Structure 1
Amino acid sequence: MRAFVITGPFQGEVLDVEPPVPGPGEVVVRVERAGVCGTDAEFFTGEMAYLHDGQARYPLRIGHEWCGVVTALGAGVSREWLGRRVTGDTMLGCQACRRCLSGRQHLCADRFEIGIRYGRPGALAEFLPVPVFALHVLPDHVGPALGALVEPGGNALRAVRAARLRAGDRLLILGPGTIGLLAAMFAAAEGAEVHLLGLSTAFARSLGFACHTEVPDLPFDAVIDASNAARLPALAAEKVEPGGRVVYIGLAGEPSLVDTRVIALKDLRVTGVLSASGGLAGTIERYASGAVDPTPLVAATIGLDDVAGALAGGRDPDQPPKIHIDPSAQTERSST
């Protein structure tokens, strides 16, 4: 099968590789659509922290935002899965440790991460092996674009849930990237008044959100930091109302400092969010019902041969933030 493989910093190409064979408890999925995000771009540039602490190494196959159709079953998997359209969790815990058994498999110390951690192959390929415990069924009317947006949506939904919003609450979101915009959509669907802060706000404004390049002089019941700026976590705690909620889902490239005296003296509820685990089912429900429609976030759908160029080219902040890949699309040239 064809798969996009990163062999070193700024080096990626489409290769013919052996197709996956499902092991016990696994299925093989024919990938309909896959998305790339900032983590994938950091793998391509060599900046991703996992490359420097031994949790990942080249060559690697990225892609953890995906959907597709189950085409093969491993031993012990019910035949009911065959032919189903699915998406799935990125985090694959060991299923035996204390964290996994308590429902926190995304925090398992020995977890694999699809397309990210410990060599587990990703979805920028024609076929993907996935443990059946990680699968979520997609309704027929949740098409490929929506299906590939379930994973980032699950992250955003968990952040919004952690913000504990009530109808009429005022929410500030720091960072109008994919996660920030998805969080804005989920929060608006719950009746919150949403404001976004970013260096470039044109696209977010086109979606109808209140956007700012400086923090407006308003009281905020909750703040979600979905940025990668090291200075903004402190700003989140500073700008939220006393007794409010702060959610950290963005990751800076360097340590960010927050004065815990501010947290204590303002009696804040502060939550960190790692992964979409726990938010996938709720995201599918909201997409299926039409309560949230994130398809405007997709700028383009390309083939595997164009992935390297997309990863190297950066993102225009005034355009939709998400690039999708259709592994079945064929082009004549190979990206390097």
Structure 2
Amino acid sequence: MRAFVIRGPGDAGVEHVAPPVAGPGEVVVDVARAGVCGTDIEFFTGEMQYLHEGHAAFPMRIGHEWAGIVTAAGEGVDRSWIGRRVTGDTMLGCGVCGRCRDGRQHVCEFRTELGIRGGRHGALAENVSIPARALHELPDAVDDAMGAMVEPGGNALRAVRGAGIRPGDRALVLGAGTIGLLVAMFARAEGADVHIVGRSARSLDFARTLGFEYAVTADELPDHPWDAVIDASNDPALPARAVDLVEPGKRVVYVGLAGSPSLVDTRLIALKDVTTVGVLSASGGLKGTIDAYASGAVDPRPLIAAEVDLDHLAPVLSGIRPAGAGAGPKFHAVI
């Protein structure tokens, strides 16, 4: 089959590789489309921390935001999965440790991550294998484009849940990339008054096209009390700013990751009685995201700037926007 392979920093392309086989407890999926995210770009540039910690190594096959159809089932798998449209969890725990038994497989010490960690091949390929326990069926109301947006949406939904947002709350989202915009969409669906902080005029202009009137730079931020602040940025200065901005007794959620450590004054967290929440993965938010997409409460498709094939994926990872691309932050490979 054809698969997108990163051979080393800046060196990637389509290769012909052996197709996956459904092992015990696994299925094989014919991939319809898969998204590209910041993690994939960090692997392409060689900056991704897992490469330096030994959790990943070149050559590697990326892709963890995907949708497709199950075409084969291994031993012990209900064969009714075959022919169903699905997406799936990225975080694949060992299934037997205390964390996995407690429902925290996404932080399992022995986990693999699809297209990211532990040599588990990703979905930027014609086929991918995945444990059946990680599958989520897609209803007809969730098309393939939306299906490949379930994983980033799950991160965003978990961030909104972690913020404890209620109707009428004033919520501040730091970051106007894919996750930040999805956070804003889910927060709006919960009835919040959402403000977005971004850096570039293009990203802020795009946010306004999505109906977020209050999309501003950090310097333009109004002096309001914020019932929730969600940091979906990669700016190492913003985690501390989030604690400064949030109302006492309220919540700050960290779902973005900077390339260098961020410093936060824990004295201020204590003195303001602020609850801080970290979000690592989409795992606990996948079903809720599918339901929100299916109901129309959230539609992620405007975020997709362009669709490319696998042969034209490397330039996208290097930062080149395809001709005719829209203003959104997300790119999809149609397999």
Shorter-chain TM-score tier: over 0.9
**Which residue of structure 2 aligns with residue 330 of structure 1?**
none
Are 2:275 and 1:269 aligned? yes
**Which residue of structure 2 aligns with residue 324 of structure 1?**
332
**Which residue of structure 1 aligns with residue 317 of structure 2?**
311
Question: Which among 223, 228, 232 is matched to residue 234 of structure 2?
Answer: 228
Question: For residues 171 and 314 of structure 1, do their structure 2 counterparts lie closer, same or farther at Cα, with a shift above 3 Å needed?
Answer: farther
Q: Match of 2:27, SS?
A: strand
**Which residue of structure 2 aligns with residue 212 of structure 1?**
216
Q: Match of 1:313, SS?
A: coil
**Which residue of structure 2 aligns with residue 48 of structure 1?**
48
User: TM-score, normalising length from structure 1?
Assistant: 0.96
1:118 alignment partner AA: G
Q: For residues 142-193 of structure 1, what are the alpha-carbon distances to aligned partners after superposition, in whole Å with 9 as ceiling and x for unaligned? A: 1110000000000000000000011000000000000000000000011000
1:205 alignment partner AA: R
Task: After TM superposition, give the deviation of residue 318 of structure 1 in Å.
Answer: 8.7
The 1-side partners of 2:183 and 2:319 are apart by: 25
Task: After TM superposition, give the deviation of residue 265 of structure 1 in Å.
Answer: 0.3
The 1-side partners of 2:229 and 2:94 are apart by: 34
The 1-side partners of 2:89 and 2:233 are apart by: 23
Task: After TM superposition, give the deviation of residue 32 of structure 1 in Å.
Answer: 0.6
Task: After TM superposition, give the deviation of residue 313 of structure 1 in Å.
Answer: 1.9
The 1-side partners of 2:326 and 2:209 are apart by: 10
Structure 1 gaps of 5+ residues are: 328-336
Asked if structure 2 preserves the Cα contact closer than 8 Å seen for 1:202 and 1:318, the reply is no
Question: For residues 26 and 140 of structure 1, do their structure 2 counterparts lie closer, same or farther at Cα, with a shift above 3 Å needed?
Answer: same
**Which residue of structure 1 aligns with residue 158 of structure 2?**
158
Deviating more after overlay: 305-314 vs 261-270 = 305-314
The 1-side partners of 2:266 and 2:101 are apart by: 32
The 2-side partners of 1:315 and 1:232 are apart by: 27
1:275 alignment partner AA: S
Taking only the aligned residue pairs, the percentage that are identical comes to 66
Asked if structure 2 preserves the Cα contact closer than 8 Å seen for 1:203 and 1:318, the reply is no
The 1-side partners of 2:262 and 2:47 are apart by: 18
1:182-193 matches, cutoff 5 A: 182-193=182-193
Q: Match of 2:283, SS?
A: coil
The 2-side partners of 1:228 and 1:76 are apart by: 42
1:122-271 matches, cutoff 5 A: 122-200=122-200, 201-209=204-212, 210-214=214-218, 215-271=221-277
Asked if structure 1 preserves the Cα contact closer than 8 Å seen for 2:185 and 2:298, the reply is yes
**Which residue of structure 2 aligns with residue 332 of structure 1?**
none
The 2-side partners of 1:292 and 1:315 are apart by: 25
**Which residue of structure 1 aligns with residue 289 of structure 2?**
283
Asked if structure 1 preserves the Cα contact closer than 8 Å seen for 2:305 and 2:326, the reply is no
The 2-side partners of 1:73 and 1:310 are apart by: 33
Task: After TM superposition, give the deviation of residue 141 of structure 1 in Å.
Answer: 2.1
Q: For residues 94-146 of structure 1, what are the alpha-carbon distances to aligned partners after superposition, in whole Å with 9 as ceiling and x for unaligned? A: 00000000000001000000000011000000000000000000002211100
Q: For residues 31-54 of structure 1, what are the alpha-carbon distances to aligned partners after superposition, in whole Å with 9 as ceiling and x for unaligned? A: 011000000000000000011110
Q: Match of 1:63, SS?
A: coil
The 1-side partners of 2:52 and 2:251 are apart by: 33
Q: For residues 250-274 of structure 1, what are the alpha-carbon distances to aligned partners after superposition, in whole Å with 9 as ceiling and x for unaligned? A: 0010000000011000000110001
List structure 1 segments (4+ residues) > 4 angstroms apart after TM superposition: 314-318
Q: Match of 1:230, SS?
A: coil
Asked if structure 1 preserves the Cα contact closer than 8 Å seen for 2:306 and 2:326, the reply is no
Deviating more after overlay: 201-210 vs 271-280 = 201-210
**Which residue of structure 2 aligns with residue 93 of structure 1?**
93
The 2-side partners of 1:86 and 1:60 are apart by: 23
Task: After TM superposition, give the deviation of residue 312 of structure 1 in Å.
Answer: 0.5
Task: After TM superposition, give the deviation of residue 202 of structure 1 in Å.
Answer: 1.1
Task: After TM superposition, give the deviation of residue 319 of structure 1 in Å.
Answer: 1.8
Task: After TM superposition, give the deviation of residue 205 of structure 1 in Å.
Answer: 1.2
The 2-side partners of 1:202 and 1:248 are apart by: 24
1:216 alignment partner AA: P
**Which residue of structure 2 aligns with residue 67 of structure 1?**
67
2:207 alignment partner AA: A
Are 2:9 and 1:4 aligned? no
Asked if structure 2 preserves the Cα contact closer than 8 Å seen for 1:315 and 1:321, the reply is no
2:209 alignment partner AA: S
The 1-side partners of 2:92 and 2:146 are apart by: 22
The 1-side partners of 2:320 and 2:270 are apart by: 39
1:288 alignment partner AA: A
Q: For residues 239-258 of structure 1, what are the alpha-carbon distances to aligned partners after superposition, in whole Å with 9 as ceiling and x for unaligned? A: 00111100001001000000
Question: For residues 315 and 202 of structure 1, do their structure 2 counterparts lie closer, same or farther at Cα, with a shift above 3 Å needed?
Answer: farther
